């Protein structure tokens, strides 16, 4: 009976303890072959089998074998992705004519104020302006880069001022609160003059171990 129980596990002491030496206060467990050949009382054999299975479960899993929520093998979560309230992340860039034209095509937004200078001036603008939603997409880029695996849940947006095509802007995301598996972010985009062009609030669902209590 004992030989069947241990043999069915297909785990030897070399598999379990290949990277661990017994300490003076901890005896190494016998191998499956030793258990199978030894004449041990049934209750003792069952106890040793449980210890062997428990030791196998405690063996650390190499980072390369950890899997994300999709089940695809990947590296262990980076400690740099953990958040605390007050963290601020930012990104700067300018949207060129080609960027705006590509977004207009992808979103089917044919409003000429984004691509035609005359139409923009007729609308009281200094020239073609970047789509507000294209600007707001910078928030998702920052959150997704800083917290890989985060899932965007909601975003409120207010468009405060137009941003000209080619104008340099800076997007800023601040961790406002953490609760359970969710994080709330204050989101802003500043124009070249420092004025707020876009602001709002985002909520994202976080992967495990991404939130940290600042008291740690």
Domain locations along the chain: 2-60, 83-205
Region 44-62: mean pLDDT is 58
Q: Which residues pair with 151 in a beta bridge?
A: 205
Token pair 């063996």 is found at 59
Q: Which residue has the higher pLDDT, 81 or 76?
A: 81
Region 122-141: mean pLDDT is 97
What pLDDT is attached to residue 38? 54
Q: Which residues pair with 188 in a beta bridge?
A: 172, 199
What pLDDT is attached to residue 14? 42
Q: Which of 173, 179, 182 is nearest to 203 (CA)?
A: 182
CA 197 to each of CA 109, 112, 137, 157, 202: distance values in angstroms, whole numbers, following the listed order: 20, 20, 14, 10, 16
Q: Which of 93, 92, 83 is nearest to 185 (CA)?
A: 83
Band of pLDDT at residue 82, cut at 50, 70 and 90: confident
CATH superfamily of 83-205: Hotdog Thioesterase (3.10.129.10)
Q: Which residues pair with 179 in a beta bridge?
A: 182
pLDDT in tens, 85-120: 999 999 999 999 999 999 999 999 999 999 999 999
Main-chain phi, psi angles of 153, to 5 degrees: -105, -40
Q: Which of 167, 185, 171, 181 is nearest to 210 (CA)?
A: 181
Band of pLDDT at residue 212, cut at 50, 70 and 90: low
Main-chain phi, psi angles of 144, to 5 degrees: -65, -30
**Alpha-carbon gap, residue 114 to 102, rounded angstroms:** 11
**Alpha-carbon gap, residue 133 to 122, rounded angstroms:** 22
Q: What is the CA radius of gyration of the chain?
A: 29
Q: Which of 53-57, 66-70, 106-110, 174-178 has the lowest mean pLDDT?
A: 66-70
């Amino acid at each position: 009976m004992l030989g069947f129980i241990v043999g069915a596990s297909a785990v030897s002491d070399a598999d379990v303890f290949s990277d661990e030496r017994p300490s003076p206060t901890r005896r190494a467990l016998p191998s499956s072959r030793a258990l199978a050949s030894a004449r041990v009382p049934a209750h003792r054999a069952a106890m040793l089998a449980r210890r062997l299975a428990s030791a196998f479960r405690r063996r650390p899993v190499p980072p390369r074998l950890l899997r994300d929520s999709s089940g695809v093998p990947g590296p262990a979560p980076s400690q740099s992705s953990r958040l605390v309230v007050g963290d601020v992340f930012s990104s700067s860039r300018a949207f060129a004519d080609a960027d705006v034209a590509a977004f207009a095509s992808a979103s089917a937004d044919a409003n000429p104020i984004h691509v035609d200078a005359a139409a923009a001036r007729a609308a009281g603008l200094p020239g073609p302006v970047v789509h507000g939603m294209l600007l707001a997409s910078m928030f998702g880029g920052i959150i997704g880069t800083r917290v890989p695996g985060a899932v965007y849940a909601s975003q409120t947006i207010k468009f405060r001022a137009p941003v000209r095509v080619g104008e340099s802007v800076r997007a800023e995301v601040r961790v406002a609160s953490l609760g359970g598996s969710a994080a709330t972010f204050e989101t802003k985009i500043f124009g070249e003059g420092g004025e707020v062009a876009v602001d709002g609030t985002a909520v994202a669902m976080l992967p495990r171990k991404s939130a940290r209590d600042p008291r740690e």
